[in-house]
Amino acid sequence: MAAADEIYRDMVIDILEHGVWDKDQTVRTVWADGTPAYTKSVICKQVTYDNTEVPILTTKRIPWKSAIHEMLWFYVKRTSDCSYLDQNKVVIWKEWTNKSNNIGKAYGYQLGKPIMVNGRITNQVHHLIDQLITNPASRRHVISLWDVDELDQMELYPCVWNNQWLVKEGKLHLIVSVRSNDIGLGNPFNVFQYYVLQRMVSQVTGHQLGTLTFNINDAHVYERHIDHLKEQITRESYPAPELWINPDIRSFDDFTINDFKLINYQYHPSIKMEIAI
């Protein structure tokens, strides 16, 4: 079994067997028909990928190009304007896009806004790259998408809200902090795209690829997803694919979707699940 499928199966089983329901609480999340979107969840779930193979599910199809597009929108375009997504026919943010066709001061906005570091104006992404090259041993390689003063100006509070990068013995490790993770839909997307981001940063900083760890504070499955997930985890997995990234790219902001190819990606059919809003 491919490692990502095995880790995912074990996580789903853990939630189904040991998770707690939120049915006795007021639930703000609803389905499109307006009924409460109840979840079963476990607290503080940690999963680690050794990155010896690409962590993408094969027990169902993951729209990998859309996952990379979203990550490029956040980290390379560094904007909350949805025009880039529209141009590339990525619709995953439609439920949270406002009348100005943006998501407020969330995600890419936080990565692109100017910050002052040692008298120099930069942004979080450029500062991270610079410090990983010039001061790799630091334990301060942190990116935060959670600005308390601007949360009320975001269309959606960040789910993946923080990440930290550590260089140990020449390997670049990434720890991703997630306040809330929809295991049926969001988690497979997030794991793959942060692996891609880690590969990109590793390439432009010259560090070898280390581990990828997700710390999920609330790992949950929605009630309407349970039967779909039970079906999915019974499927036999295929071998993990390979991810080609253009080796000629040396400047982080030069990456485009054309610099990625997922080779030999075999997968079972997609499983349609409702999105809670």
Residue 169 token pair: 């013995």
Assess whether 159 carries a catalytic annotation.
yes
Map the chain to HEC letters: CCHHHHHHHHHHHHHHHHCEECCCCCCCCECCCCCECCEEEEEEEEEEECCCCCCCCCCCCCCHHHHHHHHHHHHHHCCCECHHHHHCCCCCCHHHCCCCCECECCCHHHHHCCEEECCEEECHHHHHHHHHHHCCCCCCCEEECCCHHHHHHECCCCCEEEEEEEEECCEEEEEEEECCEECCCHHHHHHHHHHHHHHHHHHHHCCEEEEEEEEEEEEEEEHHHHHHHHHHCCCCCCCCCEEEECCCCCCHHHCCHHHEEEECCCCCCCCCCCCCC
Q: Which position among 128, 159, 209, 276 bears the catalytic label?
A: 159
- Is-contact 4 57, C-beta < 8 A? yes
Strands 208-222 and 39-49: antiparallel
Rounded-to-integer distance, Cα 128 and Cα 135, Å: 10
Rounded-to-integer distance, Cα 41 and Cα 226, Å: 12
* Residues belonging to the active site: 159
